[in-house]
Amino acid sequence: MPFIPWAEAVYTFYMKAIVDCNSFYCSCERLFEPQLKTRPVVVLSNNDGCIISRSDEAKEIGVDMAGPYFKAKPLIAKHNVAAFSSNYHLYGDLSWRVMETLRTQLPPGCVEVYSVDEAFLNLEHIPLMQLSQAAMQLRETVEQWTGIAVSIGVAPTKVLSKIANRLAKKHKQATNCVLVLDTKRKTEQALQKTPIEDVWGIGYRHAVKLRGLGIETAYDLARQGPAWGSRFLGGVTGERLLRELNGMPSIEMEDPLVNKKMIATTRMFGSPVSRLCDIREAIATYTSRAAEKLRRQRGAASIISVFIVPKEDSHQTTFRHGPSISSYTSLPAATSITNELIKPAVSLADRLYEEGKLYKKAGVMLSGIVPDHSIQGNLFRPATDSNARMLMSMMDNINFAMRDDVLKFAASGTERNWKMRQDLRSPRYTTRWEELCQAK
């Protein structure tokens, strides 16, 4: 007895899609080095710590996702894998091109950028019978215009479209990277082929718990009711997930113009540091970066928090992220002026720092974010003078044009011996004149 008695029925809901760039960072690297087409490729996280993108060939030879780079090194050498440090200038620019291409192909407001390499699409304007062809066409256009290959999953809900997308990507030959779940029957089959941990919204913890309850596939999960989801998968989130799996849209498309509620800049140090002056420099630098992001969304922050992470004894067998030591302070008035943020940030760092300890990471977070034009005044402080604002916008403009922080506050330091390693970064082909690709 199928759990959906009307299994042959065609969906009558509006359909959604998720477009996902295939091995995005690797594809970006290959775009400018075509000779890599036949070589396995991996891209590393900041500090060349772990592997965050793998080409299909790299997956095939068994390079683990999110595995530490140093452990994979022997395998990488053996199979002549090309490894790159992350080049966010390049990926950011190519991401923008992919998203722009999608926007030209759809009515206004139908593209929701979900991450650097993914976008949800609202396809309600496309008749059901034409979905497959339209998706195929979209895939070809993106690849032709940007050089980036994408996969597209189409279904009535976001969760189901993610499931469709995963299968499209997994069976590239059979699906041509496009899978449309437009009937209950197709959906049911897709759910049966999806292990529980590959469902969007089920992480490691929940997967272990569900397997303990005898639930192995997305199909098993979908047979449970929303109330069950609420009980075992964390309240309303679980309830929504169950509805979505059963074809009932419960996670809406989001307004792409919504601003961030929290802005963070956090980094591992290139190597552990112990001096307070290094920590202060790092904190000042991260604060500057966070303030830049804040101004870009025309926001002002009223809470600033700082954390530092001590290095742990390294002789334990399983890796874990050590506890971070953090503190925050509420500002007398919301601000986006870098120096007004650096001061409290650095004094928070001073308070957290302990002489003689080694630290491996630090970070700054801005929250309590309000629109810049509606900053609540404070009777006891003079309003930020407009010179400071002009200075900020000049700095932003110059830094944007030149990149690489030509202008910065003295507190950010000049030596920066805490900076992260990026030994294998490719040129910033599309955003720096002096690093343009050369045709011979």
**Do residues 26 and 33 make contact, with C-beta atoms less than 8 angstroms apart?**
no
Q: How far is the CB of 148 from DNA (least distance, A)?
A: 14
- Spatial neighbors of 166 by CB under 8 A, at least 6 apart, are 153, 194, 198
- Spatial neighbors of 331 by CB under 8 A, at least 6 apart, are 301, 302, 303, 304, 340, 341, 344
Q: Judged by CB under 7 A, does residue 117 bind DNA?
A: yes
Select the residue interacting with DNA from 78, 205, 373, 440 (CB under 7 A): 205
**Do residues 29 and 43 make contact, with C-beta atoms less than 8 angstroms apart?**
yes
Q: Judged by CB under 7 A, does residue 203 bind DNA?
A: yes
Show the beta-strand stretches assigned E in 313-383: 325-335, 359-371
Q: Judged by CB under 7 A, does residue 185 bind DNA?
A: no
Q: Judged by CB under 7 A, does residue 244 bind DNA?
A: no
Select the residue interacting with DNA from 266, 384, 399, 422 (CB under 7 A): 266
- Spatial neighbors of 246 by CB under 8 A, at least 6 apart, are 4, 222
Q: How many CA atoms lie within 13 A of 289 on its CB side?
A: 17
Q: Judged by CB under 7 A, does residue 49 bind DNA?
A: yes
Q: How far is the CB of 8 from DNA (least distance, A)?
A: 30
Q: Judged by CB under 7 A, does residue 235 bind DNA?
A: yes
Q: Judged by CB under 7 A, does residue 85 bind DNA?
A: no
Q: How far is the CB of 289 from DNA (least distance, A)?
A: 7
The region of 98-106, 130-138, 216-224, 234-242 touching DNA under the rule CB under 7 A is: 234-242
The region of 133-141, 197-205, 378-386, 408-416 touching DNA under the rule CB under 7 A is: 197-205
**Do residues 213 and 206 make contact, with C-beta atoms less than 8 angstroms apart?**
no
Q: Judged by CB under 7 A, does residue 201 bind DNA?
A: yes
Select the residue interacting with DNA from 97, 103, 185, 311 (CB under 7 A): 311
Q: How far is the CB of 195 from DNA (least distance, A)?
A: 12
Q: Judged by CB under 7 A, does residue 284 bind DNA?
A: no
What's the token pair of residue 57? 């060939």
Largest CA distance in the chain: 72
Whichever of 118 and 278 has its CB closer to DNA, that residue is: 118
Q: Judged by CB under 7 A, does residue 370 bind DNA?
A: no
Q: How many CA atoms lie within 13 A of 189 on its CB side?
A: 9
The region of 182-190, 345-353, 358-366, 401-409 touching DNA under the rule CB under 7 A is: 358-366
Per-residue mark of binding to DNA, 5-44 (x: CB under 7 A): ----------------------------------------
Q: At CB < 8 A and 24+ separation, what contacts does 49-56 make? A: 49/268, 52/25, 52/86, 53/23, 53/24, 53/25, 53/26, 54/23, 54/26, 55/23, 55/26, 55/27, 55/30, 56/22, 56/23
Select the residue interacting with DNA from 267, 280, 295, 428 (CB under 7 A): 267
How many residues bind DNA, per CB under 7 A?
51
- Spatial neighbors of 188 by CB under 8 A, at least 6 apart, are 2, 3, 4, 7, 219
Compute, in degrees rounded to 10, the torsion defined by CA atoms 426, 427, 428, 429: -110
Of 302, 342, 308, 348, which is closest to residue 328 (Cα–Cα)?
Answer: 348
Q: How far is the CB of 72 from DNA (least distance, A)?
A: 10
Select the residue interacting with DNA from 186, 260, 425, 432 (CB under 7 A): 260
* Dist CA 1 CA 303 (whole Å): 56
| Torsion sign across C-alpha atoms 141, 146, 150, 152 | negative
Alpha-helical segments (H) within 62-183: 69-78, 88-105, 131-146, 158-170, 172-175
Q: How far is the CB of 387 from DNA (least distance, A)?
A: 27
Q: Judged by CB under 7 A, does residue 295 bind DNA?
A: no
Q: Judged by CB under 7 A, does residue 167 bind DNA?
A: no
The region of 46-54, 89-97, 141-149, 183-191 touching DNA under the rule CB under 7 A is: 46-54
Q: Judged by CB under 7 A, does residue 264 bind DNA?
A: yes
Select the residue interacting with DNA from 7, 32, 67, 408 (CB under 7 A): 67
- Spatial neighbors of 157 by CB under 8 A, at least 6 apart, are 16, 243, 244, 245, 247, 248, 249, 250, 251
Q: How far is the CB of 358 from DNA (least distance, A)?
A: 9
Whichever of 49 and 147 has its CB closer to DNA, that residue is: 49
Select the residue interacting with DNA from 162, 169, 243, 428 (CB under 7 A): 162
Of 210, 158, 156, 207, which is closest to residue 184 (Cα–Cα)?
Answer: 156
**Contacts with DNA, residue ranges (CB under 7 A):** 45-47, 49-50, 52, 66-68, 70-71, 114-118, 162, 199-207, 234-237, 260-268, 272, 289, 293, 311, 314, 318-319, 321, 360-361, 363, 420
